[in-house]
Chain A
Amino acid sequence: MSPDDFTASHWYAIGRFADFPEGLSRPLRLLSQDIVAVRQGKDVKVTRADGRPCMVQARYGHVWTTLMDKPRALYDMPEFLEEGRRLVTAGAIGVLCSGLRAVENFLDMAHFPFVHTGILGIEEHPEVEKYDVSMDAERDEIWATKCCFFQPMAAATATGGQITEYKYRVPHPYSTILYKTCPIREGAWDLIGLFIQPTEEDACIAHSFVLVFDESNSDTSLLHFQQNIFLQDRMILENQVPRKLPIDPRWEMPTRADASSIAYRRWLKANGVVWGTAKLAEAA
């Protein structure tokens, strides 16, 4: 199945600049198509199987490409221009599920006590308080705000349990960014995000990053923290049935804590997203 127009119209991260060593052709998959990326000096060139070039840009520490000749603009993240932040990338991790499932899992707080036990949640504090979900109509993106959750060890810099406040942003069907209260800088937010490269309808590569104010943890310890969390998520993501995201509301049963997931599925549906989603006829 070829991607729907909305899915096809976006830019996708395919790796960090350093992932493309000079002269080495790297065959990649994007939206069920073969592409080849090769570094040429300061640029990475991307071509399709038939040799036609794809547009490329370098942003947010990653190389982005698109299969469209006239893609929509890549969203802005002004935090990348702020002084004093550190960018740490935590690798490209292949996951056998639709990238849409991976975004939805990222938006979810209710799993913290069960999947990230002792780190992002504990079973004694499982409650998800009401939070706000809104659509930014101008930028066509979703925000979930006032998300509060008890966390025993919210970040690599945290030293004890606390109620952590989150904001989530979904500016792209395959990108999501978490804004988390910074434990060491009053009023500031640390960013954690996923740039997902959907390789097939039911398989993806997650490029994750953190953009934080943090002077005490090494890059390696930040990376280990993120990878530990993500590998816990991967075990879930690869065991959700079906691997594609069901967007028909009759199929999977949500509750109040799933407000952001409900908004995400509605937004995908309103934008005509079909690629990567499961049809009700496929239900067991």
Chain B
Amino acid sequence: MDSVVSFAGWMPAGLQNAAETGTSVRAVIFEDDIAIWRGQDGLARAWQNRCPHRGMRLSYGIVRENRLTCLYHGWTYDGTGGCAHIPAHPDLVPPKSIRAKAYGCVETGGMIWVARSESSEPPPQISGTWMPCRTMQVNRSLTGLAEVLGTGKANLALAMGAWAGQLRVAGLQGAVLLAVQPMGARGAMLHACVTGPEDLTRASDWIESLRGHLERPIAA
């Protein structure tokens, strides 16, 4: 398993079911504002969250077939990011230079992973079948999975890099795949997947208690 998941490489950006077919959603990783959308072909794409025309967030866009239409002026981009249609000028063939900026985007371990397009890291490959369980927002800046679990427990995790790992949680039949999506000053998202439906409820309770633990006030 590849170990580099810092933002030079691949980062968790959400559970697979956060971007359903035909929808576009927003993900923030550090300072990067990203639109993740899924076409009818089932493929998830991750793009810089601004239309090249007037900067509107593409996470508000409309997905039709395998194209994304910006909500502001209807500029429509094909699945690779190229502008295919400008409604204000229906007869115009959009110049090839108009492109949404794409990130690398793969799905593995029940989660969506993104990397900046200039990254040369190979994408993560997480073995086994994982079922999306729950995402929690944590109002605390986090610098990695070790900080989430605490130094004493960090070695419990089978690390998949600084931002994700597999661990055993008391009371669960299978393992939990836990990923941290850092959002800088906005805090972080914690994403959890489980190995089967029998663990969904307990894993959900566990991640809630994890958030409570992380958000406890710390005496100065």
**A contact residues vs B (CB 8 Å cutoff):** 104, 108-111, 113-115, 123, 126-128, 235-236, 239-242, 246, 252-257, 284
Contact = CB atoms under 8 A, between A and B. Distances in A.
Interface stretch (B8-16, B86-94, B133-141): B86-94
A253 B50 CA distance: 12
B168 interface: no
Contacts of A242: 55
Given A240-B56, A254-B53, A123 B89 contact: no
B57 A113 contact: no
B46 to A, nearest CB: 14
Contacts of A284: 31-33, 48, 50
A123 B86 CA distance: 12
Interface in B1-48: 31-33, 48
B74 interface: yes
Given A113-B74, A240-B56, A126 B98 contact: no
10 contacts: A111-B72, A115-B71, A115-B72, A126-B88, A127-B87, A240-B72, A252-B53, A253-B97, A256-B88, A284-B50
A254 B75 CA distance: 11
Contacts of B92: 255-256
Residue from A123, A253, A257 having most chain B Cβ neighbours under 10 A:
A253
Given A123-B74, A126-B88, A128-B88, A253 B53 contact: yes
Contacts of B98: 253
Contacts of B60: 235, 239
Contacts of A114: 70-74, 87
A111 B72 CA distance: 6
A269 to B, nearest CB: 17
Residue from B48, B52, B56, B72 having most chain A Cβ neighbours under 10 A:
B72
B195 interface: no
A168 to B, nearest CB: 16
B174 to A, nearest CB: 40
Interface of B: 31-33, 48-50, 52-57, 60, 70-74, 86-90, 92, 97-98
4 A-B pairs with the lowest CB-CB distances in the bound complex, closest first? A126-B87, A257-B88, A110-B88, A128-B88
Contacts of B31: 284
Contacts of A256: 88-89, 92
B2 to A, nearest CB: 26
Contacts of A113: 74, 87
A255 B72 CA distance: 14
A268 B184 CA distance: 34
B71 A127 contact: no
A126 B74 contact: yes
Residue from A235, A242, A256, A284 having most chain B Cβ neighbours under 10 A:
A284
Nearest to A253: B52
A6 to B, nearest CB: 23
B86 A239 contact: no
A132 to B, nearest CB: 16
Given A114-B71, A126-B74, A236-B72, A241 B50 contact: yes
A235 B71 CA distance: 10
